[in-house]
Amino acid sequence: MDKIENIPRHIAIVMDGNGRWARAKRRPRFMGHKKGVDAVREIVRECGALKIECLTLFAFSSENWKRPEEEIKNLMGLFMLALDREAKSMARNNVQLQIIGDLSFFSEKLQKKIKQVEELTAHCNGLRLIVAANYGGRWDITETTKALAKKVASGEMDADLISEEDISAQLTTAGLPDPDLFIRTGGEVRISNFLIWQMAYAELYFTDVLWPDFDKDELHKAIRNYSSRQRRFGKTSEQVIADKAMTSN
């Protein structure tokens, strides 16, 4: 990719369209998920090469339990397999893995594997790869509310002084910059309860490309599109231009 300015620090992706990819090829949905793992590998590698700081991937939503039992079983199996197979190469490529979501719903075996891979890559200081599994934005905020309420009840915190930063610091994404660029593949134009608090000011990018077909060229397209936008955060366009001139001097 040619050198581009304004590379996002944090990209968050809803990897959608695996099922339709498989259906179009008259193959079982599971094949789409399997191909989806290949796309994950390519995108993770490319984000590392582009020096993106954080990549958050939505792998399984808190709503996805509503799917047929067979598909859930297949997805869990695939998750386990991918963790197993990719762990060493993540560590080798300096990728730090973190899983966010309510992991208590997963089997003991899968929970153990997650912990193992997180520990194996904990020392890595390259790309931070965050995989959202059994994740829901509302769940994250609800858990945060409970934790803060407990702190208030115990006297550790003053309710009137709770700030936006306190909330951010209590979410599962504590310590990460908010996503700059949100990408959703698969043609749907919705957030589906992803990082709803954290994405308050993210730039949104939707593409019809199905996740198994989302490759590094598609990623470059999304990043280029992002870098051509002016992020104003409430200011006027003129103010943003003036601010930029000041900082580049």
Region of 9-17, 55-63, 88-96, 143-151 interacting with Mg ion (CB under 5 A): 9-17
Q: Which stretch binds Mg ion (CB under 5 A): 16-24, 56-64, 121-129, 208-216?
A: 16-24
Q: For residues 208 and 243, which CB has a smaller minimum distance to Mg ion in the complex?
A: 208
User: Would you give the DSSP letter of residue 28?
Assistant: -
Lateral strand order in the sheet of 203-206: 96-100, 128-135, 54-61, 10-14, 181-184, 203-206
Please answer whether residues 10 and 176 qualify as being in contact, where contact means their C-beta atoms are separated by less than 8 angstroms.
yes
Cα(139)–Cα(142) distance, integer angstroms: 5
> Choosing from 16, 74, 140, 180, which is the catalytic residue?
16
CB nearer Mg ion, residue 24 or residue 242:
24
Q: Name the residue nearer to ligand IPE (CB basis): 111 or 192.
A: 192
- The CB-of-64 to Mg ion minimum distance in angstroms stands at 9
Residues that bind ligand IPE (CB under 6 A): 14-20, 58-61, 63-64, 75, 186, 188, 190, 192
- Nearest Cα residue to 127 out of 104, 105, 96: 96
Please indicate whether residue 102 is annotated as part of the active site.
no
Candidates 11-19, 42-50, 152-160, 192-200: pick the segment binding Mg ion (CB under 5 A). 11-19
Q: Which long-range contacts (CB under 8 A, 24 or more apart) does 111-116 make?
A: 113/80, 113/83, 113/84, 114/83, 116/87
Find, among 188, 223, 183, the residue nearest to 208 by Cα. 188
- Closest distance to ligand IPE from the beta carbon of 219 (Å): 16
Structure tokens belonging to residue 127: 């790309």
Of the two residues 60 and 226, which places its CB atom closer to ligand IPE in the complex? 60
Catalytic entry in 2, 6, 64, 215: 64
8 binds, among ligand IPE, Mg ion, none (CB under 5 to 8 A by kind): none
**CB nearer to Mg ion: pick between 16 and 46:** 16
Check residue 61 for interaction with Mg ion (CB under 5 A): no
Catalytic site includes residue 16:
yes
Sorted by sequence, the CB contacts under 8 Å of residue 55 that are 6+ apart come out as 10, 11, 12, 13, 43, 44, 47, 127, 128, 129, 130
Bridge partners of 61, per DSSP, are 135
Please state the closest distance from residue 110 (CB atom) to ligand IPE, in A: 15
Cβ-proximal residue to Mg ion, closest one? 16
> Residue 75 binds which entry of Mg ion, ligand IPE, none, with Cβ cut-offs from 5 to 8 Å by kind?
ligand IPE
Residue nearest to ligand IPE (CB): 19
Radius of gyration of the chain (CA): 19
Q: In this structure, are residues 7 and 223 in contact, taking their beta carbons and an 8 Å threshold?
A: yes
16 binds Mg ion (CB under 5 A): yes
Q: Tokens 């209590």 appear where?
A: 170
Residues labelled as active-site residues? 16, 64
